[in-house]
Amino acid sequence: MLSPAAINEIRAELDRLRGTREKIDARIGVLEAVLQPFDWQQVALPLNGNGKSATITVIDPATVRVENVARSPFASTGLRAAILDVLETRGPARAPNIASILAAQGFENDSTTPLATRVYNDLWRMKEAGVVEGSRGVFALAKKA
C-alpha cells in the first residue's frame, strides 16, 4: 500500500504530465496549421495580440482550426528583463527568491547552470552597470536621478 505522501506525489506528477501533454498538443496544432496552405478566406488574423498565440479561423471546415494557446509571460523575454520585472513588481529580493518567482511564473531555464546562479550573475552584472543596486545579497532597482 502506498503512503499518503507517495499518493500525493504521484498525483502531482500526473498533473504536471497532463499539463505538459496539453502544451505539446497545442504546439502540434500550431505547427500543423503552419504546414497548411494559406487560405485567403480566413476570417481572423493569425495573431490576436492579447497575450495568446495564433488563432486561425477559416471558412472551409476541412482546414485546421487552432484555438488560443496560453503563452508563458516570458515567451519572448530574456532573463534580465524578467528579473527587472520581478524587482519592479515585487520589490527588493535575493537572487534565489527571484529565481523561485521566475520558475513559479513559468520562466524556463534553457541552461545547465541553475537558474538561481544565472539570476545572481545577471544581478551582479546589472549592479556593475548601475541598473540595480544591492547590499548584502538583496537587490533592488537603482533609484533614478
| Residue 124: closest CA among 110, 109, 139 | 139
For residues 70 and 110, the model is more confident at: 110
Provide the 8-state DSSP code for 142: P
CA torsion 84-86-88-94 (nearest 10°) is: -90
**Mean pLDDT lowest for which of 40-44, 116-120, 139-143?**
40-44
DSSP H or E stretch at residue 134: strand 132-135
**Mean pLDDT lowest for which of 9-18, 62-71, 81-90, 100-109?**
62-71
CATH code given to domain 79-141:
1.10.10.10
Please count the helices (runs of H) and the strands (runs of E) in the chain.
4, 3
User: What was the pLDDT predicted at 59?
Assistant: 52
User: What was the pLDDT predicted at 49?
Assistant: 47
Q: Domain boundaries in the chain?
A: 1-71, 79-141
pLDDT greater than 60 at residue 38 = no
pLDDT band at 82 (very low <50, low <70, confident <90, very high): confident
This prediction has a pTM of: 0.47
Give the C-alpha separation, 99 to 68, whole Å.
Answer: 28
Residues 59-71: tens digit of each pLDDT: 555 554 545 444 4
